[in-house]
Amino acid sequence: MEQEKIAKEMFSPAQLDSAKSEEISKPSLNYWQDAWLRVKKNKGAIVSLVIIAILTIMALVGPHLTGHTYEEQNLQHNNLPPRIPVLENVSWLPFDGNLTRKNGDVYNAYEQKNVEEYYWFGTDSLGRDLFTRLWKGTQVSLYIAFLAAAIDMIIGVIYGAISGFVGGRTDNIMQRVIEILSGIPNLVVVILMTILLDPGILSITLALTITGWITMARVIRAQVLKLKNQEYVLAARTLGLSNGKIISKHLVPNLAGVIIINTMFTIPSAIFFEAFLSFIGLGLQPPDASLGTLIDEGFKVLQLYPYQMIIPATVISLIMICFNMVADGLRDALDPKMRD
Amino acid sequence: MAKYLTQRIIYMVVTLFLIASFTFFLMKIIPGTPFSNADKLSDTQLSIMIDKYGLDDPVPVQYANYMMNLLKGDLGVSFQFNNVGVTDIIIKSLGPSATLGGLAILFGTFFGVILGVVAALKQNTWVDYTSTFIAVLGKSIPSFVFAGLLQYYIGVKLGWFPVAFWRGPEYMVLPTIALAMFPLATASRFVRTEMIEVMESDYITLAKAKGASWFEIAFKHALRNALIPVITVLGPLVVSLMTGSLVIEKIFGIPGIGEQFVKSIQVNDYPVIMGTTLLFAGLFVLVILIVDLLYGVIDPRIRLAGGKK
Amino acid sequence: MEKILEVKDLHISFHTFGGEVQAIRGVNFDLLKGETLAIVGESGSGKSVTTKALMRLLPESNSEIKTGEILFGGKDLAKLSDKAMQKIRGKEISMIFQDPMTSLNPTMKIGKQIIEPIIKHQKLSKSAAKKRAIEILDLVGIPNPEVRFEQYPHQFSGGMRQRVVIAIALACNPKVLIADEPTTALDVTIQAQILELMKDLQKKIDTSIIFITHDLGVVANVADRVAVMYGGKIVEIGTVDEIFYNPQHPYTWGLISSMPTLDSDDEELYAIPGTPPDLLHPPKGDAFAPRNAYAMKIDLEKQPPMFKVSDTHYAATWLLHPDAPKVEPPPAVKRRQREFLEMKEGN
Ligand SMILES: Nc1ncnc2c1ncn2[C@@H]1O[C@H](COP(=O)(O)OP(=O)(O)O)[C@@H](O)[C@H]1O
Ligand code: SF4
Ligand SMILES: [Mg+2]
């Protein structure tokens, strides 16, 4: 052993600051701060969040930007392709108002029809402004999705919380109900309900929520069962808080994570079903616009005027992708299993 | 196990019974069905109807008859085609739908599993990110959007495959791809997660400690364990196939159940709508049951644990 | 005696979400032919990481052997290719893990799991491998080996599974057997059985064993030598007698004091105060200083070197520096020291 010179003084007892040694060196973040840090690291989720925000804003203001309403028809101006000032001069962008004939000829639809006006996203077969219709449709689709998600959340949380919290016979019966309902494919329920109710925003929303809340109820129940016997809930019980108070004061805040994740997965699924119903003829009816009806109408003229389908198809895909990315990101961030 | 099975089958029957009752009363409520008013029907239809359902009978009797007919596999008579039984219509269009669905689930899960396994083994590399990207697209882009774009770009613009109809193998390519996207995405995500978990498990470490090669570990030890739970997503996949087949058969003009169904919706042919709905519900319930049983057969842990009881 | 394995200045880090975890910070030890070396220490002290490193089983994605050598049969295992490592794993060095419930592949028959390494390393035919596997199953005390050969892991109890894992490890007569807390997850009676089995097997098969445990009681039973780990380092190493009856490191004192013995039931069981060091931000001085009642100023400034106590006994504590004040070990330790001295004088 090499022995270097060490001052004798060093071998006197050290002043140990016991408080300091007990200090936890990892800065202790609370659940939400920690989750936020994790979400922030997930670039895909952040970008998606921004895109969702932009699309939501456009869904609100977009319908008022062009001066046209979403149902106003102008048959002289029908089937015009997108044309945007400035961008029309960028040759590789499809915003020059040109169309291609079946034989391959390219012509400018605006010049041919002698239209001075610029329709940013073109017009449909009735000459309605697609820019306005697109954002109106986005608005309606998002509205249906948020509404359905909110209803699912409320029913699911209440049902799951009661089932898990009360337990015993009640829980047993409530679980059997869920078991039977979950045997019904949501496709079937949604179709039967939209046939029963007349197509409309509310009836579609309602149809979506009939079985939509089940997943939420299941997740919540499982969480409640887990949390139920933890100390602070027992303490609250001995303090004489009523069941309702315990649910709202102690459990719900703890359930926030799973609720958020689940809701984020419900939204894209609702958007999909709305569009799906419109596409098979059970959804909103024209002149009402939703992303589904726009895609359905666009699909009918896809080979002649592809822009009429591609634009709403892009928006719906973007919304679906972004919500799924955010949901995935949140799940990874909030899942306690992933925390070190 | 027997007890569990009985219980499952009881649930299955109750569920189907509820759906069937619901469709019956729906038909009573909605105007234009054989049970609510007969104005729209031709005389022949009417006589068959009265004959069949005893429309003069009180509602409970009608209900009982309806249920009895269902048990016999008789789903009623279509409106749009005179006198043709719904069951016959469904059987006739079953072929293309089953083929399409089978192909989609086969290719979808096959490539999905490959994608998921590769992503898990090359975790956090560009392979993994690409696979994630494909999966997110597959899960997010609605099947009808994807089908429409495929039809336009691959079918119309490039002209590689027929744009529509169902006349031979080359006609199956585009619809199969469109319908397979969701199973592919779902399977790949699921397998990736499972595979990563399995690869971190103790028995994989033990396999490494025995000197097994990377290949043996991935394919002899890990894959089987990672694949078993995939069976559990079969239920959701079948629903996605049913949903998808409605729109994809419509888009590609495939004479299957889905196309028939969409047409029936457009002309309010309620017996066909209800019949198809019941078929879907039955199929779904059956798949769930099969998944349960299959899981018991494939996983020796469950098989034996169940057998002991 | 012949050294079969030499670990020199091993440093291992994990790259995690929070930063670099310096799990192993300079570990040195030798393993002699035919001996059992026990590694003891609290959970998190780096026992598993050290031994996994010997077999290069650390997760490739986030672990790194920063420096150090692992010399075995003239090769440095720390730098060996993965292909070359596969020829050593299971053949020259084998491992038994802590939890027998999770360490067998649930969807593969026991028999197949045993013959795999035999076929691979010993190039036996399938039937010869099966014969050998049944022999080993018999050797590790599994009744009806022919029947058991065809069964799945879930048909075995925990103790039986651990016997299977031992059978797998011994299938190719390895030179080194690493047992990472092989009895921790088992019931006390089963623990004793497995320990007996391992002692018995070592007599029959001439293998060196590294036996990891956090239970000093087990050590006295099985080991020839003991290495005490703390905070990613070996803080004391010596023969069983030296560690039990003449421990030098305050952490070893703590471990011994917290060990229940037959004649100490009048005292309350002692627990070392404080928490293990945070290896994300390892301290500048000695990692044990914050929990050490004898800590000196130097302990907060400099890490102690290994001081030699005897030819076989070393400890890393400044208390062994000639300038350090002489301190008295706690009573429980002193009682053992007295016993040790009496024993020596008696001889
Ligand atoms: N995969 C890993 N990722 C990050 N840190 C790890 C990993 N494995 C072990 N560690 C860290 O290494 C240290 C030693 O762990 P280990 O060797 O398992 O302790 P033990 O002595 O209980 O076997 C611990 O602090 C642990 O946090
Ligand atoms: S080196 Fe110092 S702090 Fe570390 S064990 Fe020895 S006396 Fe205690
Ligand atoms: Mg360990």
Dump pLDDT digits (tens) for C155-197.
898 888 988 998 999 888 899 999 998 888 788 788 888 888 8
Of the ranges A69-78, A184-193, C279-288, which one carries the lowest mean pLDDT score? A69-78
Nearest to C89 among B200, B209, B301 (CB): B209
For residue C166, give the chain B residue with the closest CA. Answer: B206
Nearest CA of chain B to the CA of A232: how many Å? 33
List the shell of residues around ion ligand 3, using CB closer than 5 Å. C 48
* Inter-chain residue contact C86 with B213, CB threshold 8 Å: yes
- List, in order, residues 6 or more apart from A232 with CB less than 8 Å away: A250
List C residues 192-251 in contact with B (Cβ-Cβ < 8 A): none
Residues above pLDDT 90, as percent of chain A: 8
pLDDT at residue B9 is higher than 80: yes
Using CA atoms in the order A317, A323, A329, A330, what is the torsion angle rounded to 10 degrees?
-170
Report whether pLDDT(A71) > 80.
no
Best residue among C10, C12, C15, C21 to mutate for probing ligand 1's pocket (most ligand atoms within 8 Å of CB) is C21
Tell me the residue type at A247. Answer: I
Question: Cα B70 vs. chain centroid, distance in angstroms?
Answer: 21
Chain B within 8 Å of A275 (Cβ-Cβ)? yes
Predicted model pTM:
0.81
pLDDT of residue B308: 30
Assign B48 a pLDDT band (cuts: 50, 70, 90). low
DSSP-derived secondary structure letter, B77 = B
Question: What domains are defined for chain A?
Answer: 47-66+129-334 (1.10.3720.10)
If pLDDT is split at 50, 70 and 90, which confidence band does A282 have? Answer: confident
Q: Give the model's confidence band at B54: pLDDT under 50 very low, under 70 low, under 90 confident, else very high.
A: low
Res. C54 pLDDT band, cuts 50 70 90:
very high
Looking at the predicted structure, is the pLDDT value of residue B37 above 60? Answer: no
List strand residue ranges (DSSP E) for C218-285, in order. Answer: 225-230, 233-239
Reduce the secondary structure of A143-198 to three states and give it as a string.
Answer: HHHHHHHHHHHHHHHHHHHHHHHHCHHHHHHHHHHHHHHCCCCHHHHHHHHHHHCC
Pairing label, strands C36-40, C225-230:
parallel
User: Ligand 3 centre and the CA of C43: distance in Å?
Assistant: 6
Give the least confident one: A288-292, C46-50, C109-113: A288-292
Measured in angstroms, how far is the CA atom of residue B204 from the centroid of ligand 1? 18
* Residue count of chain B: 309
Average pLDDT, chain A: 78
pLDDT of residue B31: 66
Nearest CA to ligand 2 atom 6: C317
Mean pLDDT of chain C: 86
* Average pLDDT rounded to a whole number, residues C204-213: 88
| Neighbour subunits, B (≥3 Cβ pairs < 8 A) | A, C
- What is the ipTM for the molecules in this complex? 0.85
Query: pLDDT band at residue C47, thresholds of 50, 70 and 90?
Result: very high
Give the highest mean pLDDT range of A174-188, B57-71, B98-112: B98-112
Distance from CA of A3 to the nearest CA of C (A): 9
**Between A340 and B100, where is the model more confident?**
B100
Residue of B202, B212, B301 with shortest CB distance to C102: B202
Give the mean model confidence (pLDDT) for residues C52-61: 89
Residue range C308-318: mean pLDDT, rounded:
91
Does residue C338 have a pLDDT over 80? no
Would you call B124 an interface residue with chain C, using a CB distance cutoff of 8 Å? yes
CB contact under 8 A, C18 and A14: no
B188-244 residue pLDDT tens:
988 998 898 898 889 999 999 999 998 899 888 998 888 888 888 887 888 888 888
Whether A1 has a pLDDT exceeding 50, the answer reads no
Q: How confident is the model at residue A187 (pLDDT cuts 50, 70, 90)?
A: confident
Q: Report the percentage of chain C scoring pLDDT > 90.
A: 38
- pLDDT at residue A54 tops 70: yes
Q: Give all strands of the β-sheet with C63-72 in edge-to-edge order.
A: C19-32, C3-16, C63-72, C75-76
Partners of residue C275 in chain A, C-beta under 8 Å: 22
